Amino acid sequence: MNSLKDIVEESQRQKTKILAVAASEDKEVLKSVVTAAELNIIQPILIGDIFETKRIAVEIGLNIEGYEKVNTKDLKESAKIAVKLVSEGKADFVMKGLIDTSILLKEVLNKDYGLRTDSLLSHVMFYEIPTYHKLLVITDGGMNITPSINEKVSIIENAVQAFDNLGYKKINVACLAAKEKVNPKMSATIDAEEIKKMWEKKNIQNVIVEGPLALDLAVSKESAKIKGFNSSIAGETDVLLVPNIEMGNGIGKSLTYFANAKSAGVIMGAKAPIILVSRADDQQTKLNSIALGSVIA
């Protein structure tokens, strides 16, 4: 699967999954959920203010009659119900509707009924960029704020897992910093060097982790050649591990707004995929994310 279109097509070939939508009273989310249902990717369970959800559906001409619905006006409650449906095996994955990301994530992390596993949860965002020859993941620009070295290793593992679910056999990971040499004043460079060493000890042949790297070396062979940086992953990176949420969020949004990139995102590391879409994401991005979650689920 080399494009987001491939992922959508694969999700249509697979068994239809059950998607629990927390706080379904959102026009754009509803549109993408109904489109995904019409494409047989998912069967939704709508949780939230059902009166408002139905009003929106009528307003924009969507038929949601056949879908299971659970009524609650309380946002935390809608997140709790959606999460519990998945932990009880009644749904395959969760999607965020008109609710703050952190409210949903706190329910996902709940020790009693949440979707925690022994691993760290992290956000994995796939980008299809017109000027790059393959899908590029940025992680973590959505959940972990300032991850530790061990957490960064888990973030890499989650991204690798996502690629593995898509059938990739070889994955190149670049630990981003502002430069490729270690500078004791730049913690991202220190962490990246350490992560590279930690990964080498794991001896996982099909996943190369390189770092520290500046962005240009990760995504441009030409730049690596000019700077004399010799690495097999230069210009062939699949995963950009960013040092903090701000860098991930900033690069990701730059790709979307300045480079016309298309995207799909998912939280990995939990018992099931979690789809966090931004209110500003377009229809296709939301559909891509549902398809990605469905394939991973």
Sign of CA dihedral 65, 66, 72, 77: negative
The single-letter code of the amino acid at 160 is V
Q: How far is the CB of 209 from ligand COD (least distance, A)?
A: 20
**Pick from 57, 85, 53, 55: which is nearest to 72 by CA?**
53
Q: Is 62 strand, coil or helix?
A: coil
The Cα–Cα gap between 281 and 297 comes to 22
Q: Identify the DSSP state of 16.
A: P
Q: Which of 70, 109, 178, 190 binds ligand COD (CB under 6 A)?
A: 109
**Pick from 95, 102, 30: which is nearest to 64 by CA?**
30
Site membership for ligand COD, residue 249 (CB under 6 A): yes
Query: Is the CB of 45 or the CB of 274 nearer to ligand COD?
Result: 274
Q: Which of 44, 48, 97, 142 binds ligand COD (CB under 6 A)?
A: 142
Q: How far is the CB of 110 from ligand COD (least distance, A)?
A: 9
Q: Which of 15, 66, 118, 145 binds ligand COD (CB under 6 A)?
A: 145
Site membership for ligand COD, residue 42 (CB under 6 A): no
Site membership for ligand COD, residue 39 (CB under 6 A): no
Q: Answer whether 69's CB lies under 8 Å from 46's CB.
A: yes
Q: How far is the CB of 287 from ligand COD (least distance, A)?
A: 20
Site membership for ligand COD, residue 13 (CB under 6 A): no
**The one segment of 55-63, 101-109, 195-203, 205-213 that binds ligand COD by CB under 6 A:** 101-109
Q: How far is the CB of 13 from ligand COD (least distance, A)?
A: 31
Site membership for ligand COD, residue 252 (CB under 6 A): no
The Cα–Cα gap between 286 and 37 comes to 13
**Pick from 155, 161, 83, 157: which is nearest to 122 by CA?**
155
Query: Is the CB of 110 or the CB of 220 nearer to ligand COD?
Result: 110
240 conformational bin, left if phi > 0, alpha if psi -120 to 50, beta if neither:
beta
Cα→Cα distances 21→84, 104, 161, Å:
12, 11, 24
Site membership for ligand COD, residue 121 (CB under 6 A): yes
Q: Interface with ligand COD by CB under 6 A: which residues?
A: 101-102, 105-106, 109, 116, 120-121, 142-145, 245, 249
